[in-house]
Structure 1
Amino acid sequence: MKRSITILLLFINAFTFAQTANPIVIGQSVEILSKVLNEQRRINIYLPDEYSKNDTTQYPVIYIIDGGMQEDFLHITGIVQFNTQPWINRFPKSIVVGIENVDRKRDCSFAVDNLDFLKRVGFKKEYYTTYGGSAAYIKFIATELQPYISKNYKANNYKTVIGESFAGLLTTEILLKHRELFDTYIIMSPSLWWGNELLLKDAPALLGVKNKTKVNVYIGACNKKEDKIMYDDATALRDVLKKYGGPETTVFYDYLPAEIHSTMLHQSVYNAFKLIYPKTAYQK
């Protein structure tokens, strides 16, 4: 009998604990109807701890191209929250905006005449059933998403964008063709092989027109033995930006030999913030 009462009390305590447990909330998720893309887009948003509608504080905004909950939103938000704690204070507290993917290959790639170049990089044409939609996607970011964030959140004018792999291809295209959309570009292992390195070939001419706006550009490269094409393209992007980017382009190049293409993003983003913002609260 005594044992039965003990078990019953443990059960009651466990049930009471379960009843009082609260969910952990790190942000909010909204749906935006895009007229440009003709579809609903889910946007995940992290707000700094002190965020309040009742004060005048405005915050920089960090945009994540692969920004879904099952993509990069959670861990990049963690890096931002860590670096903006008052005892670190590497850079200002920031709003983080994650764009959840619908069709990544379509949205992140520019139009090409054919897909013959895929064989060189080891992909089959049938893997790319949709592609070439980056112009519309960039227009969505510029004319719908950024204005939405500015209207509905306390954002200032400083904007950062983060993209890796195919999202790095898109981020590079924005840098070269629509440089004014962001102040800082964090580009990791970009898939610049798309279209036989057409973006790299066009970069000198594009930079000749678009190099007056001040920007920071971080380029992360994975282990060159693991993926030589990706490594070579990242290095070529560094070189062309340094040669043709003009004095308003500050380039941070980061080779990560211990990381492969699939593992580099987390370390690379952390490194990017350290390079772009080298001092903490105790180093100023």
Structure 2
Amino acid sequence: MQRKSNTTGKKNFVITLLIFTGVFIVSAQNKVKVLDTQPFSIGKSITIHSNVLNEDRVLNIYLPNGYNTSEKEYPVIYLLDGSANEDFIHVSGLVQFGSFSWINMLPESIVVGIANVDRKRDFTYPSTNKLDQEEFPTSGGSKKFIEFIETELLGLINQNFKVSKEKTIIGQSLGGLLASEILLKKPILFDNYIIVSPSVWWDNTSILKWEVKKDLANKKIYVAVGVEGPAMQTGATNLYYKLLEAYKDDKAVIFNFLEEQNHGDALHLALYDAFSKFFKP
């Protein structure tokens, strides 16, 4: 019995060895040689010097497929929090997807991502709230940042790219606060405003007391918020009703409560919805 067991063990060993040898031979035969490696890019990154801000700023630019050989002009989507490690890549991907001919959710568009230096400084106006001042010691610089957008950025893009007149701005959180400030103070700068999870709580919700300018004609405004706590949800809702009351058009001023999203993942789904409502035929 012992001899039979040894014989069986040897057979099993030989079979196992043949199997592994065969796998090795097949793997060696199917090995693919890498012929070349090239960088993969979805756009370009340019650095400019802002005289208004007195600092260098990085702009990430997504250009639609065929841009270099096309003679047509493209609408521009300006993205706050537009650094490569923030929202630029996934928003550009969504814009590309939505502009595919078989999707036809929005026209082919240029995306200009404004990379951050100090978003707490650039996206906030001065606050009288002591807690705001303590937690955001560099805050209060939105006036200069809006001036940079108006007097430097928009002109730069108009002069160097094939753009149409239509301009959209996207802002989330503090970026949503800034987009709201632009809408209320300088609505002429953009045609479409996508405001997601705006930090209306800033400065004791003082933005809700600001006057809505009357030159909102032909503007499209989208406000969205997820399950983000009473302060954020109430602030976004009150901002929507303030704009709706002034605009008196619930097709041009849209609100979306994203009941399955939170502050971290509301933006992407909100943009998909906004694009489809703003642009889709």
The answer, yes or no, to whether TM exceeds 0.5 is yes
How far has the Cα of 1:131 moved from its partner?
A: 0.6
Distance in structure 2 (CA, Å) of the matches to 1:85 and 1:278: 12
CA distance in 1, matches of 2:70, 2:276: 29
Aligned 8 A contact 1:76 1:266 in 2? yes
Corresponding residue number in structure 1 for 2:200: 192
TM-score by length of 1: 0.85
The answer for unaligned runs of 5 or more in structure 1 is 119-124, 280-284
For residue 93 of structure 1, report the CA deviation from its aligned partner: 0.4
Larger radius of gyration: 2
Distance 1:139 1:10, change over 3 A: farther
In structure 2, the residue matched to 1:94 is 109
1:212 is displaced (CA, Å) by: 4.2
- Paired residue secondary structure (1:255): strand
Of 247-256 and 64-73, deviating more is 247-256
Q: Which residue of 2 is the match for residue 134 of structure 1?
A: 142
The residue aligned with 1:252 is: 254
Structure 1 246/178 Cα, relative in aligned 2: closer, same or farther at 3 Å? farther
Q: Give, in whole Å, the separation in 1 of the partners of 2:57 and 2:101.
A: 34
CA contact (8 A) 1:165 1:188 kept: yes
Asked whether 1:236 is paired with 2:251, we answer no
Return 5+ residue gaps in structure 2 as ranges: 1-20
Change (3 A) 1:249 1:176: farther
Structure 2: distance between partners of 1:248 and 1:134: 29
Equivalent residue runs for 1:61-76 within 5 Å? 61-76=76-91
Does the CA contact (< 8 Å) of 1:63 and 1:97 recur in 2?
A: yes
Which secondary structure does the structure 1 equivalent of 2:255 belong to? Answer: strand
1:127 Cα offset (Å): 2.7
For 1:48, what is the secondary structure of its paired residue? coil
The 4+ residue runs of structure 1 with deviation greater than 2 A are 114-118, 209-213, 245-249
1:90-128: CA deviation from partner (whole Å, max 9, x where unpaired):
22100000000000000000023x33254xxxxxx5431
Q: Distance in 2 between matches of 1:22 and 1:132?
A: 43
The answer on 1:115 being equivalent to 2:129 is yes
Q: Does the CA-based 8 Å contact 2:75-2:108 persist in structure 1?
A: yes
Q: Please state whether the residue corresponding to 1:29 is helix, strand or coil.
A: strand
Name the CA shift for 1:141/1:10 in 2 (closer, same or farther; >3 Å). Answer: farther
Is the 2:244–2:250 contact (alpha carbons within 8 Å) kept by the matching residues of 1? no
Q: Does 1:215 align with 2:231?
A: no
Q: Does 1:28 align with 2:44?
A: yes
Deviation, 1:244, is: 1.3
Cα pair 1:179 1:213 within 8 Å, conserved = no
1:259 to partner: Cα distance: 0.5
Aligned alpha-carbon RMSD (Å): 2.2
Q: Percent identity?
A: 42
C-alpha deviations, 1:105-162, integer Å up to 9, x for none? Answer: 00000023x33254xxxxxx54312010000000101111110000010011100000
Question: AA paired with 2:163?
Answer: A
For 2:278, the equivalent position in structure 1 comes to 276
Task: Report the CA distance shift for 1:212/1:227 in structure 2 as closer, same or farther (over 3 A).
Answer: closer
